[in-house]
């Protein structure tokens, strides 16, 4: 009875805290992701040929790994 109600209240509070923590984590990850996108775009715009070379190299390596399996 009373213990079950108290336990439900504690669980509810824990869930609310967990949701708030997840929300803060999501916001932080979004901000970091946006910063990474901006930095990548700046790099690609200032070094287009290096970016093409890097992308080709990564694609080549992924192709080699994919064909080995």
Which two three-digit tokens encode residue 31? 């901000």
Q: Cβ contacts of residue 51 below 8 Å, gap of 6+?
A: 43, 44
Domain spans, the chain: 2-68
Q: Could you please report the per-residue DSSP string of the chain?
A: -HHHHHHHHHHHHHHHHHHHHHHHHHHHHHHHHHHHHHHHHHHHHH-HHHHHHHHHHHHHHHHHHHHH-
For the full predicted model, state whether its pTM sits above 0.75.
no
12-54 pLDDT, tens digit per residue, is: 999 999 999 999 999 999 999 999 999 999 999 999 999 999 9
């Amino acid at each position: 009875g009373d213990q079950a109600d108290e336990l439900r209240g504690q669980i509810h509070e824990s869930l609310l805290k967990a949701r708030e923590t997840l929300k803060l984590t999501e916001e932080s990850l979004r901000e970091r992701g946006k910063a990474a996108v901006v930095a990548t775009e700046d790099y690609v715009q200032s070094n287009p040929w290096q970016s093409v070379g890097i992308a080709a190299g990564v694609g080549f390596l992924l192709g080699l790994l994919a064909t080995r399996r």
